Structure 1
Amino acid sequence: MSSLSPAELVDRLAAVGASKVSYTRTQTLVRSYMGAAILTLGAAFAVTVSTQTGQPLLGALLFPVGFILLYLLGYDLLTGVFTLLPLAMMMRRKEVTWGAMLRTWGLVFLGNLGGAITVAVLMAIYFTYGFSAPPSPVGEAIGEIGHGRTVGYADHGAAGMLTLFVRGVLCNWMVSTGVVVAFLSKDLLGRIIAMWMPIMLFFYMGFEHSIVNMFLFPSGLLLGADFTLTDYLVWNEIPTVLGNLVGGVTFVAVPLYLAHGRRSAAKAAEAAPGSVALAPQSELVGATR
């Protein structure tokens, strides 16, 4: 398997990050809507496998299927753009201004939320025969996840909030590592293997992923779980989003820049004091998250 050097990898990631701000509003919304929809179908699959087999490790082993599919189709997740755009800014890609970055983050968040809730509604129908019967065992398991990971944190007060935030940090450390290492390899199989490992780890360890939670918790509410929308927002989604942001920037983007990107960024600035051109579109196909 051929692969990039670390310095080449950082240059490519910066080009991918810069490309994110070049899409139209519609393109960004569609890319993020579909990214979340495919990822959360993968989450539903993993929970189904874990519940029906009683083997959580098997569910974690299979969960990366959704992540890999959305990557191969070139869709986006908030967790990835939390890392790629700051890295592109650090690498002095002039397309990535603060305004462009915040706009892209906001659009990706909205698109991801729409895709995840769509799947939540469809799966709630699936688990209840169109709300005409009690939830299936898998539906009950999803409801229990929502209860345990909202009220369960609230029961511990400030310590629970800290734990939730740290799990969000750890999650995007692994998820963004999966995004990054996918670009190391130049062939399809190498990319799939590279992504699989950190994504399996985060899911099995129960770290908090803001996009997966946009599916799990609305699903739980639709299926009658014992927590409220406020519980979900305050005791999961908002702290998870913040933790995902800190994890992606602090443990992925900044170390890559400091270890491999500072010299490249300085050379790029000297060579092109004006605008920096994007990488060819062919190199950006599959850029995601």
Structure 2
Amino acid sequence: MFEDILGNDDVKKYLTNCIENKNFSHSYIFSGIKGVGKYTFAKDFAKCILEDPMMQDYYELEPDGKSIKVAQIRELQNVINIKPTFSEKSVYIIDDADLMTTEAQNSLLKTLEEPPEYAVIILIVHNERSVLSTVKSRCVNIKFNKLSDKDIKKYFLKNDLNFEDKNINVFKVLDGSLNDIDFIRDDYDELLKLTVFVTNLKKNKVINFFQDASVFYDNHDKIIRLLEYLNMLLFENSYFQLIEIVEKTKNKILMNNNFEMCIDYMILNFIEELY
């Protein structure tokens, strides 16, 4: 039971106790940063509640675009009103529940206040501040902690991942979450180039600077994440005056300004600050 899930042993213990005693709340909030296993825990918990490998009395809701709309919640409520067919309970998972609109949350509140006896509703939440206090008060809130470096190492071994270069502290990049594991695996070369870029800032060589800056121009599709990593490196190396420049560049790109002009802005301002 939850053996294959990394970390959050307190959560495992609590949910296992609920299952063994068949003592289930009607509504839960699984809260914590992305990439720590909330969805995996919720799905396994649902399987145990239903005692049905086919999970036929299970329903899952996720955002439609950037939010979960009131129409989606009303559709869910119609489903909740249907009694389970194959299990004693029905389980409903709302993924990214913090993206519910206020109207959607208020609509869901009616069900949370008077749920059917058979219903178990699990809200998966990454930003608890976005959830109305009235909704939170109707749920058992289970908090998920960051994964330890030891847990992340286990994940690396299990998935045959090897990040040997000492210039990149993958544990610091991941920061207790597996949410960015694909970014590190797929863009490892770019991260190394950024590390070289920041290292060469100390050498005060303009020629190297322009050569190393190509990593920004060549990665339009992933530039925001690379700039976030760059800022982490700048902070570690005490280039505090450059961090604000990177943030302004990010904002310009997010506002759909010309990409190359945004990178030009950043590079020229770096040169002005450093040389």
- TM tier, shorter chain? under 0.3
TM-score normalised by structure 1 residue count:
0.24
Higher relative contact order (CA 8 A, sep 6+): 1
Greater strand proportion: 2
Greater helix proportion: 1
